[in-house]
Amino acid sequence: MPESENTQTALHSVEKIGGTSMSRFTELMDTILIGDRSGEDLYQRIFVVSAYGGMTNLLLEHKKTGEPGVYGRFANGEQEQSWHESLDKVRDEMLAMNRALFGDSTARAKADGFISERIEGARSCMDNLQALCRYGHFQLTDHLLRVREMLAAIGETHSAFNTVLALNESGVKARLVDLSGWHEPEPLAFEEMLTRHLEGIDLATELPIVTGYTHCKEGLMKTFDRGYSEMTFSKIATLTNAREAVIHKEFHLSTADPGIVGLDNIVTIGRTNYDVADQLSNLGMEAIHPKAAKGLREQGIELRIKNAFEPDHSGTLISQDYCSAEPCVEIIAGRSGVLALEVFDQDMLGDITYEIELLQLLKELKVYVIARDSDANSQTYYLSGTRKIINRAVRLIGEKYSAAEVQLHRVAIVSAIGSDMKVPGILAKAVSALSAADISVQALHQSVRQVEMQAIVREQDYENAVRALHHALIEKEEHGDVICAA
């Protein structure tokens, strides 16, 4: 790439394609990858791709349920057979994807050969590691992070390799930028790895397809964990000072999940700010990874979230200083499968060390705290994490505080979010909408800052609660097709 691009605003955009969209790859060829572009219009874009939907879940563990994949089984030290079976499943899924994309062509043979070599390479590396660790001088736990990274990277190399192959077949000069670290002599620092691999690419005549996973000295997985492809994406955008950063998703960023509320009832969000994006990612609906947003925000690069299948729509523009002209609710989001851990102890009264210690314990167990509330003698933490680890937290708390009563409840969080939610009577409206839908509210949270209001409901009421709040707080406002078009 020309050096001047690091100092001046460049011509190119950096665009990330999420996993759910990658699974509909053939349609992507007709929309964002090629569509009606030809000649030079095909270029001046860098694509960062995620693994096809569900692949990383099989390789590592299910993002929402925690069900172990290859990594989970390997790390749990289950029988050798168990992770081998999971890896066979990944291979079968990947080969089935190749068959769906390339039929019986020679391209399919190339795609199969490429990914099979990566999978079998990882398998033999893990076999060797297991054998080595039987001697006692080497501990498996010392190497688990590297194994996790090696496995994760397979998902993105698979989708990136196939994308290049399909584009080349259609006459586009696409080029694979493989950041997986496969056979690299030593890990480089994150930025250096990206700079090295992008060096010498002429963006005017070549279309780089970059793997969402970057192998680097810092360990992308250690620092950012799942959703890591957004880190690769935002770092490339800031390093190359891109004209615009774009995230392509399966739907427009909308006032609620279209899967729950229905495409006919949702409204597209035209503009919002990074504060709203943070609330969404806290709930697990990653509009953008908060750490990825930081670099873009600081460098003043605009971020656009687009529907990959409606390329002519301007999508959602996320900026730092946007605030809705009128106070309103912009999104109803939420999360089911949350575990509420309630600790009741009368000795807690007036003693905040209790809370500090509980939070420290949850941090050590790496349990994610989505929300929390308290009263005089109880604390409740709304947690996401595997049942196994949360049960461990319950046991450890019971051992440390013998007088404490610790209970777990399965709940869901439903949340109304907006850049300015100082809407008079909003709490009353929300609660009466839930009660009219026969939903019992278990707890209610709103902070003084008023960007979010959360209702805790029983897990089985989750979808109905989203529909009820969307209807009362958004549909009734009759925003039309888009709230504040970008």
Ligand X SMILES: Nc1ncnc2c1ncn2[C@@H]1O[C@H](COP(=O)(O)OP(=O)(O)O)[C@@H](O)[C@H]1O
Ligand Y SMILES: N[C@@H](CC(=O)OP(=O)(O)O)C(=O)O
Nearest residue (CB) to ligand X, 50 versus 86: 50
CA atoms within 13 A on the CB side of 189: 2
Which residue of 12, 118, 249, 335 would you call a contact of ligand X, by CB under 6 A? 249
Reported as half-sphere exposure (CB side, CA atoms, 13 A), residue 451 has a value of 13
Q: Which stretch binds ligand X (CB under 6 A): 119-127, 139-147, 253-261, 320-328?
A: 253-261
| Residue 226 engages ligand Y in binding (rule: CB under 6 A) | yes
Binding partner at 226 among ligand X, ligand Y, none, C-beta below 5 to 8 Å by kind: ligand Y
What distances in angstroms separate CA 339 from CA 363, 369, 462, one per listed residue? 16, 10, 14
User: Could you give the 3-state DSSP secondary structure of residue 322?
Assistant: coil
* Closest residue by Cα to residue 414 from 446, 366, 387: 446
The greatest distance separating any two alpha carbons of the chain, rounded to the nearest whole angstrom, comes to: 73
* Residue number, 194 or 341, with CB nearest to ligand Y: 194
- What's the CA gap between 437 and 465, in Å, rounded? 8
Residue 56 binds: one of ligand Y, ligand X, none (C-beta under 5 to 8 A by kind): ligand Y
Looking at the Cβ atoms of 75 and 423, the one nearer to ligand Y is 75
Q: How far apart are CA 126 and CA 83, in angstroms?
A: 10
* Cα distance between residue 14 and residue 29, in whole Å: 17
**For residue 338, what are the β-bridge partners?**
411
Q: How far is the CB of 272 from ligand Y (least distance, A)?
A: 19
Torsion of CA 251, 252, 253, 256, to 10 degrees: -60
| Binding-site partner at residue 21 among ligand X, ligand Y, none, CB < 5 to 8 Å by type | ligand X
Residue 156 is a binding residue for ligand X (CB under 6 A)? no
Beta strand 268-269 with 207-211: parallel, antiparallel or unpaired? unpaired
Residue 48 interacts with, from ligand X, ligand Y, none (CB under 5-8 Å by kind) = none
Position 25 contacts ligand Y (CB under 6 A)? no
Q: What is the smallest separation between the CB atom of 56 and ligand Y, expressed in angstroms? A: 4
Q: Of the two residues 262 and 300, which places its CB atom closer to ligand X in the complex?
A: 262
Residue 419 near residue 395, CB atoms below 8 Å: no
Nearer to ligand Y, 158 or 271 (CB): 158
219 contacts which partner out of ligand X, ligand Y, none, CB within 5 to 8 A by kind? Answer: none
Cα separation, 445 vs 449, in Å, equals 12
Q: List the x/- string, 105-144, binding to ligand X by CB under 6 A.
A: ----------------------------------------
Q: How far apart are the first and last CA of the chain?
A: 30
The position carrying tokens 């399966």 is 250
> Is 211 a binder of ligand Y (CB under 6 A)?
no
Q: What distance in Å separates the CA atoms of residue 365 and residue 119, rounded to the nearest whole number?
A: 31
- Residue 227 interacts with, from ligand Y, ligand X, none (CB under 5-8 Å by kind): ligand Y
Residue selected from 69, 181, 227, 418 as contacting ligand Y according to rule CB under 6 A: 227
Single residue of 74, 161, 228, 322 touching ligand Y by CB under 6 A: 228
Residue number of the CB closest to ligand X reads 18
Pick what 250 binds: ligand X, ligand Y, none; C-beta below 5 to 8 Å, kind-dependent: ligand X
- Out of 250, 278, 342, 475, point to the residue binding ligand X (CB under 6 A): 250
Which stretch in 97-105, 137-145, 177-185, 221-229 sits in contact with ligand Y by CB under 6 A? 221-229
469 binding ligand X? (CB under 6 A): no
For residue 466, which of 305, 280, 312, 257 has the smallest C-alpha distance?
Answer: 257
387-400 vs 353-364: helix axis angle to the nearest 10?
140
x/- letters, 21..60, toward ligand X (CB under 6 A)? x----------------------------x--x-------
- Taking the C-alpha atoms of residue 266 and residue 331, their distance in angstroms, rounded to an integer, is 10
DSSP state of 188: P
Tokens of 79: 């029988």
Residue that the structure tokens 């009219």 belong to: 436
Closest to ligand Y by CB, 5 vs 225, is 225
Rounded to a whole number of angstroms, the minimum distance from the CB of residue 180 to ligand Y is 13
The span from the CA of 233 to the CA of 20, in Å, is: 17
Contact between 378 and ligand X (CB under 6 A)? no
Task: Write out the two tokens for 264.
Answer: 């006919």
Decide whether 248 or 467 has the Cβ nearer to ligand Y.
248
* Phi/psi of residue 368, nearest 5 degrees: -85, 125
Quick check: 384 binds ligand Y (CB under 6 A)?
no
Output 56 or 282, the one with its CB closest to ligand Y.
56
Q: Annotate 132-152 with b (16+ C-beta within 10 A) or e (fewer).
A: ebeeeeeeeeebeebbbbbbb
Residues 286-305 that bind ligand X (CB under 6 A): 286
Instruction: Give the x-and-dash track for 49-88 against ligand Y (CB under 6 A).
Output: -xx----x------x-------------------------
| Token representation of residue 95 | 């080969």
> Which partner in ligand X, ligand Y, none is near 212 (CB below 5 to 8 A by kind)?
ligand Y
**Residue 2: CB partners within 8 Å, gap ≥ 6?**
none
Q: Which residues bind ligand Y (CB under 6 A)?
A: 18-19, 50-51, 56, 63, 155, 212, 226-230
Q: Which residues bind ligand X (CB under 6 A)?
A: 18-21, 50, 53, 249-251, 253-254, 256-259, 285-286, 331, 333
